[in-house]
Amino acid sequence: MSDHLPPSHPSVVAPKIGVVLLNLGTPDATDFWSVRRYLKEFLSDPRVIETPKWLWWPILNLVILNFRPQKAGHAYAQIWDKERNESPLRVITRGQAEALAERMSGDGVMVEYAMRYGNPSTQSVLEKMQKAGCQKILLVPLYPQYSATTTATANDKAFDALKAMRWQPAVRTTPAYFEDAKYIETLGNSIRDGVAALDFEPDLVITSYHGMPVEYLQKGDPYHCQCHKTTRLVREYLGWPKEKLMVTFQSRFGPTEWLQPYTDKTLEELPGRGIKKVAILAPAFSADCIETLEEIAMGGKETFLHAGGEKYAYIPCLNDSPAGMEMIEDMVRRELKGWL
């Protein structure tokens, strides 16, 4: 590319296509201040907390950020990858990016991962890719079901970084893949294989999705409907009866009403209804994290057994498994058509 440039011209990087896997984020460590920095960024996002800033700012800064980091830090410590000194979310998301890069190595595609909150930041990754010559970039929010609180804010952060660039790359974003045939097949197979590997036959399998305030649904967020459709399509793929697979919503925060039924309340009630053997998974997450490993795999088990349950098993997310990566590669290649 530099053959016909004058001697004083800056070096020109060969043009590349880039793919960025976008995930939620994680604190850098489990100590109070690391968790506080992460929670401040996360809970200051107006896409996540739609309470007016004048009302939310004092609640967040004077109350929540003085008490919640210690509790959250303890929860992170329960699932922290001590060998790598990182959260499982970062370890797994990096593994997904590395696996995808290997799968697409023959296409000359640069693959990176970025976090909406925390590190590596979306801005730093996009700047790195632009300097490396990526003139076309595909943004891949790793959220099967669309929500303004996840997909939209991940894209927002990327667009904010792009706004500051003099030489902007062309950009595409992947759509939600909650009903994608390959995703349904892969998720369904993971459930079937997960159940088959248990030493018991579950009375019920629960698909626990991250919750959101009911108000967001009423304002037009499609997340609730897409969660139900994912579970319905998976149930149909597996050929299971309606009563075998259930939808619940977890991780509620604050005093407002959230999407129901609540996962924790459901786990408390099931043994009293004679359902004492349960398997559970979290299809809204592409990688295991604090909400799946600490809240569901650990906390959910404690809640269920304390209420009289007998058997409880957590089925992991697709993570960077071969089947999960085949699904992601399939989606990325489809969205890159015309560029590759």
Give the annotated binding-site residues: 210, 291
The CATH classification of domain 16-176+323-335, taken from the options 3.40.50.300, 3.40.50.1400, 3.40.1480.10, 3.30.420.130: 3.40.50.1400
The per-residue pLDDT for range 59-90, each reduced to its tens digit, is: 999 999 999 999 999 999 999 999 999 999 99
Looking at residue 123, its amino acid is Q
C-beta separation of 205 from 195 below 8 A: yes
CA 221 – CA 180 distance, rounded (Å): 19
Predicted local distance difference test score (pLDDT) of residue 13: 78
Predicted local distance difference test score (pLDDT) of residue 4: 67
Predicted local distance difference test score (pLDDT) of residue 3: 61
Predicted local distance difference test score (pLDDT) of residue 5: 64
Predicted local distance difference test score (pLDDT) of residue 2: 54
Low-confidence ranges of the chain (pLDDT < 70): 1-5, 9-10, 12
What is the enclosing helix (H) or strand (E) of 26? strand 16-26
Give the annotated binding-site residues for Fe(2+): 210, 291
Q: What is the DSSP string of 22-87?
A: EEEEE-SSSSHHHHHHHHHHHHT-TTT--S-HHHHHHHIIIIIHHHHHHHHHHHHHHH-BTTTTB-
Class of domain 181-314: alpha beta
Predicted local distance difference test score (pLDDT) of residue 254: 86
Residue 339: phi, psi to the nearest 5?
-100, -40
For tokens 């943004």, what's the residue?
A: 139
Three-state secondary structure call for residue 282: coil
Q: Hey, where are the domains in the chain?
A: 16-176+323-335, 181-314
Q: What DSSP state is assigned to residue 105? A: G
Predicted local distance difference test score (pLDDT) of residue 6: 72
| β strands within 107-265, DSSP E | 109-118, 134-141, 170-173, 204-210, 245-250
Q: Which residues pair with 210 in a beta bridge?
A: 250
Domains 16-176+323-335 and 181-314 share a fold: yes
Three-state secondary structure call for residue 283: coil
Predicted local distance difference test score (pLDDT) of residue 7: 73
